Structure 1
């Protein structure tokens, strides 16, 4: 049965239609012009017009309509809204239960089943369950608890498909062209596979319906979870269409290997609360707390079944060797892991200061990436948005770190003394840096347009601007300026220091502006400056090659 009544929605009179889920009813409702679904009222609604009501009666002519004594369309100020009830004939396709198709992926469970209110309530009771409107399927986090509940509840109704990752591979070189009759499947390290092919509508339609399919607009290919079942499905379509399917492996890049456990695994150990409280008590920054907890969690999950308080120095040495030999992490990553482990056993547990038998690595010395004056100028010119342009200019003109930039408040800009106050910078230290006269004019123009309240740069809802947004802004400006170097917000800080040094600014002043504790840190910019290079003559120029 459905119920039709008069409601007031968003200060407008509307005709509301309430009904339990029925595909035939929804199809009829959508055929009427002006139909809308309200999430607030949980019903369909139409304009409050006599013609619409008459059309509803015609559309549901095969149903019994029972009207109340009071007329439906009267002046709302004179009488209460009337209600009409429509009794639907029994549906032929509302059979209880039905086959449930369950597809098991690495970290997700996909469920496809007929519409049933009890089944829906059960799925919603599971942790991390959601409905995918586009593919018309339920997605549930895969863990032992959810899997046991689903198996017990559905029982014999389940038709299970296990998406294993064992796929036979061919060549390992992927850098080549494919012809129009070929479909190339490339297995990636992250548990995904690329599907690359030309214009084939039937194959595109089939891939769209596959679970967790995603279209890459930049590279023009599809990605799917690595699965034998999906590969067989694609191979079957290729056979029907007369296409040739090739499976290859992505060429492994040299670099750090991923962690042994996923970042969203529900079964991994969490960092002890005492560890977090001790870091907070000692006034470590949020960034340091996040890094220490992440590295310590990797250590305790490496020995997942063992009590962390029973782990000895030998366990620590084995773990550090694993990081170096198997994962191939950087020197800074290795040192951070050692410090995170030492903090727990020395500070949290109150143990003695420990020195592990494995030697600390020498810190790698990499020269910073520096932009030329012309490249910085082009980045600013290619950024028309006033907020984005101000962010780039301020980061460069004052040599700010990314965290210092987004933490700036309106009260930190001192236009009388032409200074910018950096509060609680790296190491919880305050300092002052320069405020350029040109930058002050840009900031005043920016303030008149954007009207920030608390922070100098705020999001749409007045919250603090995110680091990711600034990184995207700088990266997009570098791309538009056709800069081939890897540019980040910190690159602007390096460029600020290098350009000051090339203009003859004393190194000690640059050290103070950047907030470096030691001049040795600032001296790295002496290795990237080009000052005096024009006066050096290469010995090649003295060779008589003619």
Structure 2
């Protein structure tokens, strides 16, 4: 049985019984059955602080270890606290056990045993190392301003007087850190930013900055920024609004800006749109992956894809497959590669464990080059396609979805998960949603330029209309419903996925769900409710009904009505015995 340790903790405005143990699914099932809830911040399960909860734990885990408040107090400050935990004191007497149990003895730790080592400061943090101690480490990480740095294997302490006193109290030392507290105004920026014309293209300007981290970080805030390794400078669009933004970013610092641009060099037409920038950056990153002698083949592939108006996602998928194909044949001319050699290449990939989906992408990329780029449409070029694995998607029940939504406190995070489930949106559709796409009067959402460059109309759930309007007043976004770190930019898909991961962890569910799982759950729950599958197809934006029919295998209500022949056999046999 897993070793269980309980401790009195203060969480969510009240005292709780914290239950600590190594992850074990059997133990988790028992704990959840007792009504315990998982706390991500405390990294433990907890119950109400009551004798009934304690006795329930004792009945299921007779060997559990009780950590008293006195032992914690001694460990942290070296002093003895006379106030023992009511759970530990009363229950121990009732069970006839002694508080002198070696598992309950006080922990005495000195700074010499911890082997504290102060390291040079890093920015606004003091840095120190110590021998690992579970309880002290836990106490340190509860202090606001203290972080564990995995790269340096050390603790980072914000250079603030209050944080210093708290940390030194936990460590049982005094004057361990210096008095060099961090002051925001202590850093005075000095230097010059030079702006020059870009020789290769008048649409860009070269920005040379001094070697200061803060200056570089400010430049990285520009969404259309590119960095030139060869020239060791930043490239920004040569537009008046960009130059104005540059001045605005550094007007309150000691950094001066010197413009060496010719007259009338700046032009608002040089400002690329988001799609143009995304495609140009994708093209550049792909061309950097192949040597100079092979760039001609890849460039022809990219130009053809762009001419056919394929998305940057398809560009990366097809060209990634084609680059792998070129590498296998040592970047020689694809026209001189035989069909048999190509089949051997595809076979070697499957032999190495490539999934069927990746295998189909590889076939599509190679075939696109021969048929569309080289124009060999009549060429008998039939490639074998790997057989797809028929996997059922993970689906959450309505109760599990509700459990996930309940643990999210941030209104923005909760709303993006609710709208993803309530309208069956993909994660890319959530982040690209604009206020102009939400038709409040019609209770619909106009999803524009979705997968396959298709538009569709989906439902706007009545239950979130009021929340959505209040959220708009609170965040005051201009264009996107869910804006990212910088104004005017959409929220990143990675951030949305992280929100889902955090919510899943807090909910205590064991299923491996993602934001796309909410979309699967939306379709399954509609089907269970009797919605016609053709409507579900339209809501999801599926081109083929075959894609939607996968959810017919997941509907719970239909499956529950079907009885196993074994159960029927047992029922009939039991009935016969009763009749006899």
TM-score, with structure 1 as normaliser: 0.51
Checking the alignment, whether the CA contact within 8 Å between 2:439 and 2:446 is kept in structure 1 is yes
Q: Matched residues in 2 for 1:311 and 1:131: separation?
A: 51
- Which residue number in structure 2 is paired with residue 461 of structure 1? 486
The answer as to whether partners of 2:343 and 2:384 remain within 8 angstroms in 1 is no
Partner of 1:324: 350
Whole-angstrom CA distance in 1 between matches of 2:379 and 2:434 = 42
Question: Which stretch of structure 1 is more off in the superposition, 467-476 or 299-308?
Answer: 299-308
Which one of the candidate residues 493, 502, 515 is aligned to 1:476?
Answer: 502
CA distance in 2, matches of 1:32, 1:456: 43
Name the CA shift for 1:417/1:265 in 2 (closer, same or farther; >3 Å).
closer
Are the equivalent residues in 2 in contact too, given 1:332–1:363 (CA < 8 A)? yes
Counterpart of 1:287 in 2: which secondary structure? helix
CA distance in 2, matches of 1:272, 1:497: 40
1:338-392 superposed Cα distances (whole Å, 9 cap, x missing partner):
1111111211122234455652223221111100001100111111011110110
Q: In the alignment, what sits opposite 2:375? A: 350
Distance in structure 2 (CA, Å) of the matches to 1:375 and 1:317: 46
Paired residues of 2:443 and 2:461 also in contact (CA < 8 A): yes
Aligned to 1:526: 552
- Please give the per-residue CA displacement for 1:197-237, whole angstroms capped at 9, x wherever unaligned: xxxxxxxxxxxxxxxxxxxxxxxxxxxxxxxxxxxxxxxxx
The equivalent of 1:333 in structure 2 is 358
* Structure 2 residue matching 1:421: 3-state secondary structure: strand
Q: SS state of the match for residue 557, structure 2? A: coil
Which secondary structure state, in structure 1, belongs to the residue aligned with residue 525 of structure 2?
helix
> 402, 424, 434: which one pairs with 1:377?
402
Which structure 2 residues correspond to residues 137-216 of structure 1 after superposition, within 5 A?
Answer: none
Distance 2:180 2:508 in 1: 53
Task: Please state if 1:277 is matched with 2:427.
Answer: no
Q: Secondary structure at the match of 1:532?
A: helix
Alpha carbons of structure 1 residues 31 and 522: separation in structure 2 relative to 1, 3 Å: closer
* Within-5 A mapping of 1:391-430: 391-430=416-455
Q: 1:388 to 1:263 in 2, by over 3 A?
A: farther
Q: Is the 8 A contact 1:317 1:356 kept in 2?
A: no
Over the residues paired in the alignment, what is the CA RMSD in angstroms? 3.2
Change (3 A) 1:475 1:355: farther
2: distance between equivalents of 1:458 and 1:486? 27
Equivalence map 1:183-332=2 (5 Å): 272-325=298-351, 327-332=352-357
Instruction: Check the 8 A contact 2:287/2:299 in 1, yes or no.
Output: no
- CA deviation vs aligned residue, 1:140-185 (integer Å, no higher than 9, x gap): xxxxxx9xxxxxxxxxxxxxxxxxxxxxxxxxxxxxxxxxxxxxxx
Please list every run of 5 or more consecutive structure 1 residues that lacks an aligned counterpart in the other structure: 1-29, 43-129, 133-145, 147-261
Secondary structure class of the residue paired with 2:556: coil
CA contact (8 A) 1:317 1:357 kept: no
- Checking the alignment, whether the CA contact within 8 Å between 1:368 and 1:491 is kept in structure 2 is yes
Secondary structure of the equivalent of 1:272? helix
What residue is the counterpart of 1:515 in the other structure? 541
Which string of whole-angstrom CA distances, capped at 9 and with x for unpartnered residues, describes residues 269-313 of structure 1? 657222111111101122111111111111111222523343232
Q: In structure 2, how many angstroms separate the alpha carbons of the residues matched to 1:323 and 1:487?
A: 29
Count of aligned residue pairs for this structure pair:
301
Q: What stretches of structure 2 of length at least 5 have no aligned partner?
A: 1-177, 193-210, 214-228, 230-285
Q: Which runs of 4+ in 1 moved over 6 A?
A: 30-35, 262-266
| Range that drifts further, 264-273 or 380-389 | 264-273
Give distance in 2, aligned partners of 1:31 and 1:493: 54
In the superposition, relative to structure 1, how do residues 376 and 264 fare at CA in structure 2: closer, same or farther (>3 Å)? Answer: farther
